[in-house]
Structures are given as C-alpha cells and as structure tokens.
Amino acid sequence: MNNQNSKLSVGIAMLFETILIITAFLSIASRQWKNVSLTLLAMVCLSLPFLITYSANLKNFVLPPSFQSTTVVFVFLAQYMGEIRKFYQIFWWWDLLLHAIFGSYALIIALYLIKGIFRKEQDTTEQRFTLFAIIFAFSFSIALGTLWEMFEFIGDYLFKSGMVKGGLEDTSTDLLIKILAAFITGIICYYCNFKKVNSFN
C-alpha cells in the first residue's frame, strides 16, 4: 500500500510556507540577512517529508500515517520557532524537547519500515522477532540522531545559525536525550506488542 499525501499535512505545509515567505520579505526589508538564509533553509526542509514519501513509495517502504504532518510540524518548530523566533534562547528546554521527540519518532518510523522490509520466519517466535525489530529501530534512531547533529553543525557553519550552542557538551547532551527517548519508546513498544500477542494466546 502506497503512503498517501494527506490533505492535513499539505495544508499545514502551505500555511508554514506562507509564514516563511512573509518572514523572508520582512527580513529582506529590514536587512536581516541571517533570517533570510534561515527562512530559505526552513522552506527547503519543509519539502523533505513529501520527497521522502515519494521515495518510500518507489521502494514500497511503509511510513507511519502521521509521518508527513509530524515531520512538517517538527521542522517548523525547529527551524522557524527555534532559530528565527529564538525559542532556543528563550526556553532552555526547547532544544532538548525537540531532540527527545526526534529520538522517539525516529524509532516509530523504523518499526514501520521493518514491516515493509522483513518477514518473520515460521520458526521465529513473535517475542524474538519483536526484540529484533526494537533493537534495529533503536539503532536506526541513533543513526538519524547523529545525522541530525551533523545537519546542525553544517547549518551553523554555512548559515551562521546557533543550533550547536555548547560545542561538544551540547552535541553529547542532544545525543543522550535522543538515546533515552528512543530507549523508553522501544521498551513501551516492546511490552505493548508482547501484551497484545499474549492476549491472543
């Protein structure tokens, strides 16, 4: 089954793009060139969920039904609210919150991908297969989290943004938050699935 472009996610993306376009024009008028570059980066990032969905359909990968809307909102919260509206500076916990959400949702995405890639063998127990899926998804989440840290570093280098605020300490804290969020989400998913399987036995 193909992943569909939901009207909700398209509508949210169009709303956010409109806000970013207005912000870009206002930034140009006030000669805030840093904000101009940040809004352009955010506009490009908002298209990524739809490009990923298109690529997933070509490869018959399964994504969560809420993938597009969740990712669009996440990009807006990170790029527009965090960078342009300075939420990273206003709220000390804003960056940690987003990294926790990222780590948790990345694990959920991986679990959906596994459904379309792997098939459980008949001699493999449901508990063992679920454990494998959780470990794979956990590793996938950490890998994406590391790529996100690279994105922040490159963004700071090219666009002079302030995503990496504390150097090594900030990067290590972000990764730790992602790992903890993915770990907790993995445990919840494992026991929810184990409980569901046992209810049918």
- For 142-195, the pLDDT digits (tens) are 999 999 888 888 877 777 666 676 677 888 899 999 999 999 999 999 888 766
**Residue 34 Rama label (left phi>0; alpha psi -120 to 50; beta):** alpha
The pLDDT of residue 120: 67
When pLDDT is averaged across residues 49-69 and rounded to a whole number, the result is 90
Find the angle CA(172)-CA(174)-CA(176) to the nearest 5 degrees: 70
Contact 63, 109 (CB under 8 A): yes
pLDDT at 30 over 90: yes
- pLDDT of 46 > 80? The answer is yes
What pTM did the predictor assign? 0.85
Q: Give the chain's mean pLDDT.
A: 87
DSSP state of 66: T
Give the type of residue at 87: F
Helix axes 126-159, 33-58, angle to 10 degrees: 150
